[in-house]
Amino acid sequence: MGHISRRALIAGGTAVVGGLMLTGQAVADPQAARHGGRAGRRRELRGEWIATVANTDWPSKPGLSAADQHAELLVYLDDAVRRKLNAVILQVRPTADALWPSPFEPWAECLTGVQGQDPGWDPLGTAVEEAHRRGLELHAWFNPYRIANHTDLSRLVPTHPARLHPDWVVPYGGKLYYNPGMPQVRRFVQNAILDAVHRYDIDAVHWDDYFYPYPVAGQIFDDDATYATYGAGFPDKAAWRRDNNDRLVRETAARIKKIKKHVRFGISPFGVWRNAATDPAGSDTTAGVQTYDDLSADTRKWVREGWLDYVCPQVYWNIGFAAADYAKLVPWWNDVVSGTDVDLYIGEALYKAGDPAQPAPWQDPAELSRHLTFAGDYSRVRGHVFFSGKEVVADPTGAMARVVADHYGSRARPPR
């Protein structure tokens, strides 16, 4: 299928925010109007992801002054208000480093260009304050296990936990990861994330699609020794790996509620749990990646067990795409959350709009608007999140303006 998740875009270059402007208003889609758009629903999430790893969205480049970083952040927040969005999902732990003064991990490299260097301000604290001032929710986005987009431990700051505990680290696919099978790793990851829950008035803890890493042809994620130590009682390594991720999700969920009951916990997985050919309970897809099998992430179970407050699958394909059809995946996810208290938001691939490398439907600026029209017929869909922030602001094809014109006629409060 040639799946594309966030990682494909994050591998790209930096974004320059300063001169980005809103596009003009689009003509409303009559079909969306017949459905009442999304404006009639008073509680729905309208969000955007703002990625910081490799300076994908923000800051536009490393080494900007604190004042310039702050100003760029406000561009995103003010634009979100103009678009009638109500939530931003800000990546605050991109590569096992932090966008706040963490006692567990060094300052993030994306801020100053030097991991561990104090940027002279508190980005997460400021983001929470400025978002709330504008009536926006701030979901803090953490990546649990990724350490670095290279395999050289010596490039990490000397006090980095991965250098202090090299036995926790697994190199794979040109990157470094913490080993999810080690109980001490899982506890450390939780502690590092929960420090932000203790310190800040964030509205949610948010994880993306990275658990065990995406498969890389010809390479093996070497956790044999860890499996030999901790894998007793499991039928195979795959079941043990899924249990490791189950434990991380279940334990984190419980600890968040113990600290602050109102803070929500959401995960944004790759959009395909399993194909129906693999499992009758799976979706009518032929995806090349299945989270259950390839990432050891039983995302369906996490919903059914009620460990999450929301799930936001990355349904990053157009309506009619043969291998993973948006019009088949949204109903499947709607059924998954039915009978649970878990909210369903749909992750939308705004970055594909107008990309000449994408299929023909993405060349039509109305494709994303059609997504919202289609999803509006499914009662458990309670919002959409757009990837990523720089595309929301720049909106080169007018696809985001079309969504706003067709579906966001008035402001809405997020679900609680």
List all residues 6 or more positions away from 80 whose beta carbon is below 8 Å from its beta carbon.
48, 86, 88, 134, 136, 392
Residue in this structure with the two tokens 């299945």, named with its chain if needed: 290
Given CA atoms 108, 113, 117, 121 in this order, what sign does their dihedral have? negative
Q: Which of 251, 416, 259, 413 is nearest to 341 (CA)?
A: 416
Say whether 199 sits in a helix, a strand or coil: helix
Question: How, if at all, do strands 175-178 and 146-148 pair?
Answer: antiparallel
| DSSP run (H or E) holding 23 | none
Cα torsion through 5, 207, 298, 328, rounded to 10:
-50
pTM of the model: 0.91
Token code pair at residue 282 = 């799976």
Angle formed at CA 104 by CA 98 and CA 105, multiple of 5 degrees: 35
Residue-level pLDDT, tens digit, the chain, 416 residues: 334 444 344 333 333 344 433 333 333 333 333 333 444 456 999 999 999 999 999 999 999 999 999 999 999 999 999 999 999 999 999 999 999 999 999 999 999 999 999 999 999 999 999 999 999 999 999 999 999 999 999 999 999 999 999 999 999 999 999 999 999 999 999 999 999 999 999 999 999 999 999 999 999 999 999 999 999 999 999 999 999 999 999 999 999 999 999 999 999 999 999 999 999 999 999 999 999 999 999 999 999 999 999 999 999 999 999 999 999 999 999 999 999 999 999 999 999 999 999 999 999 999 999 999 999 999 999 999 999 999 999 999 999 999 999 999 999 999 98
Q: Which residues lie closer than 8 Å to 236 by C-beta, 6 or more apart? A: none
Per the CB < 8 A criterion, the answer to whether 6 and 51 are in contact is: yes
Which of the 8 DSSP states describes residue 346?
A: E
By CB neighbour count within 10 A (0-12 exposed, 13-18 middle, 19+ buried), where does 299 fall? Answer: buried
Contacts of 233 (CB under 8 A, 6+ apart): none
Q: Are 325 and 285 in contact (CB under 8 A)?
A: yes
Cα→Cα distances 311→9, 43, 64, 347, Å: 21, 16, 34, 9
Dihedral of CA atoms 57, 62, 65, 70 in degrees, nearest 10, equals 20
What strands, in cross-sheet order, belong to the sheet with 175-178?
146-148, 175-178, 169-172
What the block records as the tokens of 408 is 């966001």
Residues 100 and 122 sit within 8 Å (Cβ to Cβ): yes
CA distances (Å), 89 to each of 2, 27, 49, 112, 385, in order? 26, 28, 5, 21, 9
State residue 416's pLDDT score.
83
Which amino acid is it at 389? G
At 217, which amino acid appears?
A: A
